[in-house]
Amino acid sequence: MKDNKLSRRSFVRMSTASVAALSIPGILSASADPQGQPGGQRFLPTSMPAWEPRTVNPGWDPGDSDSFTRYFFDTLMLETRYLDSDIPSTVFRLFGETFDTPIMTAALSHLRGTETESGLVVYSKAAKACNAVNWIGMGPDEEFDEVLATGAKTIRIIKPYEDNDDVIKKIRYSARQKNCLAVGMDIDHSFNGRGGYDVVMGEKMKAKKTDDLKKFVKASKVPFILKGVLSVSDAKKCLDAGVSGIMLSHHGGRVKYSIPPLMALEQIADAVGGKMKIFVDCGILSGMDAYKCLAMGADAVGVGRHFIPLLPEGSDKVAARIKEMTNELAGVMCATGVRSLDKMDPSVIHRTIL
């Protein structure tokens, strides 16, 4: 457990005004008099155009959680700490295994790869080449086996299928396989956004209770992870159910106006107190983004869509990017006086309004 996690929320510096602004998701679309006053525009995500009425700006998607997540990353600045700093280690330990980087692949599925390999095999080979943790999402057992055959230590995320027996069957199958590091569930795929249960690739999903989670944990011989946690409430229920790790994620903006995972991270890290691993994904594009997550309480980060354009170019390209991002992370660690991942210090981060 990292000692500095216990009171990390108090370390991240922010003005009261900025907390208030960032706590109101509607402020993005509701920014008053945005054209006339600089104050109205200062909350706009950097990736978005200046405010215009929606009818003449169809590219504007109110409540787009991905855009706000990017914006939130970019409001976080770092102080430098050079004295007594040196070349850092990015060695990352998880569930009894040692990895060279805390930058992991995200749980993806149904990907196009090269002419000879599926996208999942391509990025799994890349994870293996970098000695990074690999994640995989929805798919048949045969595909999971192909991924495990790459030698990558892999976490399999199983959908919240309607029938718990199907879930337990998949958990048991996965946990028996060599190289399966952990299994889990993306709980944020239970519902369809229109008040019903989701249907994914023709498969029916259903809501899950904490008691169901306890059954999944019990059925698994490897650590169980819940993906899609964005609240202290869910994180505490995971602790209660014996879950080994949580992935803070809005699943690439499945629910509009979702808070950025980083925004929930400090409170969740405080509540969890080092008793579960905390992972973060959504919108991570660089070693700098990864650093911010790690400094604020994450143990490791997942990267998904950033790698997708590289998949048709093969695993070497993906591996090169994972290594490059790890070097970027190490570069920020050098500049902020952090020698290893367990020495991350949230007081380096300054929250600002651009």
Ligand X SMILES: Cc1cc2nc3c(=O)[nH]c(=O)nc-3n(C[C@H](O)[C@H](O)[C@H](O)COP(=O)(O)O)c2cc1C
For ligand X, which stretch binds (CB under 6 A), given 2-10, 92-100, 102-110, 141-149? Answer: 102-110
By beta-carbon distance, which residue lies closest to ligand X?
137
Q: Which is nearer to ligand X, 85 or 286 (CB)?
A: 286
User: What φ, ψ does residue 131 adopt, rounded to 5°?
Assistant: 50, 50
Q: 253's torsion region: left (phi>0), alpha (psi -120 to 50) or beta?
A: left
Q: Is 264 exposed, middle or buried (0-12, 13-18, 19+ CB in 10 A)?
A: buried
- How big is the CA angle at 67 (ends 64 and 71), to the nearest 5 degrees? 135
Per CB under 6 A, does 160 bind ligand X? no
Residue from 12, 127, 132, 138 in contact with ligand X (CB under 6 A): 138
Number of chain positions touching ligand X (CB under 6 A): 22
Q: 139's torsion region: left (phi>0), alpha (psi -120 to 50) or beta?
A: left
Per CB under 6 A, does 292 bind ligand X? no
Report the interhelical angle of 315-335 vs 287-295 (nearest 10°).
50
- The first and second tokens of residue 240, run together, are 């209660």
Per CB under 6 A, does 281 bind ligand X? yes
Q: Which is nearer to ligand X, 319 or 338 (CB)?
A: 319
Under DSSP, is residue 158 helix (H, G, I), strand (E, B) or coil?
strand
Per CB under 6 A, does 106 bind ligand X? yes
Q: Segment 240-259, which members bind ligand X (CB under 6 A)?
A: 249, 251-252
CA distance 237 to 232: 9
Q: Segment 309-348, which members bind ligand X (CB under 6 A)?
A: none
For ligand X, which stretch binds (CB under 6 A), given 86-94, 125-133, 214-222, 304-312? Answer: 304-312
Residue from 94, 107, 263, 330 in contact with ligand X (CB under 6 A): 107
Q: How far is the CB of 211 from ligand X (least distance, A)?
A: 22
Per CB under 6 A, does 283 bind ligand X? yes
Per CB under 6 A, does 303 bind ligand X? yes
Distances (CA, A) of 219 to 168, 170, 187, 213, 267: 6, 10, 17, 10, 30
Q: Which residues bind ligand X (CB under 6 A)?
A: 106-111, 137-138, 157, 186, 227, 249, 251-252, 281-284, 303-306
